[in-house]
Amino acid sequence: MINGNGVNGSNNRKRIGLALGGGAARGLAHIGVLAVLEEADIPIDFIAGTSMGSLVGSAYCAGISVAELREIAATTGWQHICRPTWPRNGLVSFAAMEEWIINTVGDLDIRDLAIPFAAVAADLESSERVILTEGPLHRAVRASCSVPGFATPVEVNGRLLCDGGVVDNLPDFAARQLGADYVIGVDVFVPAYRTYLGPLGVTMAAVEMLVQKAGGGDIHADCLIIPDLVDKSYIRLSDYRAFIEAGEQATRIMLPAILDAITDPTFPPPLQNHPSSSSISIIT
């Protein structure tokens, strides 16, 4: 884990934030991204995560090393984090995920993490994006991961929350709220038009496009890393090696641009047209 001066040890460097997007099993590609950034000695000052991005990102912020994340990916299945439930407002419950996080990462408050972190969720009643920066880590991550209709929503501070991907799948704004000057976004929700599925393929492609564009992070991030995950499974955690490798390859491609940008005092320019604060609720 790197959160020191990095990049030639400059004390006046830009503060770097990661915005780790949602994408279920595909989010394991974030491990590969973290690995390459570490190899390049690029410091990470803040991480904001949505859905699987919040799970991987929070573990890293808690001090779990990249090597440990690889081992966790190799040994963790859906049976460890979800259970079937009576289908009133979801087919499964991620209550087991909370226990798994406590056992694997620790029973932590978000404010206790070594690297400042935010989990992004959505309020089912107000349609707001909710940026969680304090409170039980396990609860916040579960809320951020709870895909509406699939997993039961989670009550946090009196609000009914679900997967942040429906409002902000690539949370660059949350990373900037934490204090980042330069945001590296990682988009693992790559749409694909599966013609062999007929009308279902059209519907799936449209839903993927809607989720990918939710929140505008793919436009506003200073650098966008897009692992080659077209047609890769969203549910096959056993493909962790391929996901991690895709994250590594995509990050190596972008590495020269990242290094140039974080050492250029004129970059990035002031950001324009960011999301209106009226659609955002920040719980701090």
Q: Catalytic site residues?
A: 51, 163
**Three-class SS of residue 45?**
coil
Contact by Cβ (8 Å): 47, 60: yes
Strand (E) or helix (H) holding 50: strand 46-50
By CB neighbour count within 10 A (0-12 exposed, 13-18 middle, 19+ buried), where does 216 fall? Answer: middle
Determine the Cα–Cα distance for residues 34 and 32; give it in Å rounded to an integer.
5
Tokens of 139: 């609860």
Tokens of 108: 């932590």
Contact by Cβ (8 Å): 115, 142: no
Hey, which residues does 49 pair with through a beta bridge? 20, 119
Contact by Cβ (8 Å): 247, 18: no
Place of tokens 């595909």: 26
Determine the Cα–Cα distance for residues 252 and 212; give it in Å rounded to an integer.
22
Contact by Cβ (8 Å): 246, 208: no
Query: What residues contact residue 102 under an 8 Å CB cut-off, 6+ apart?
Result: 138
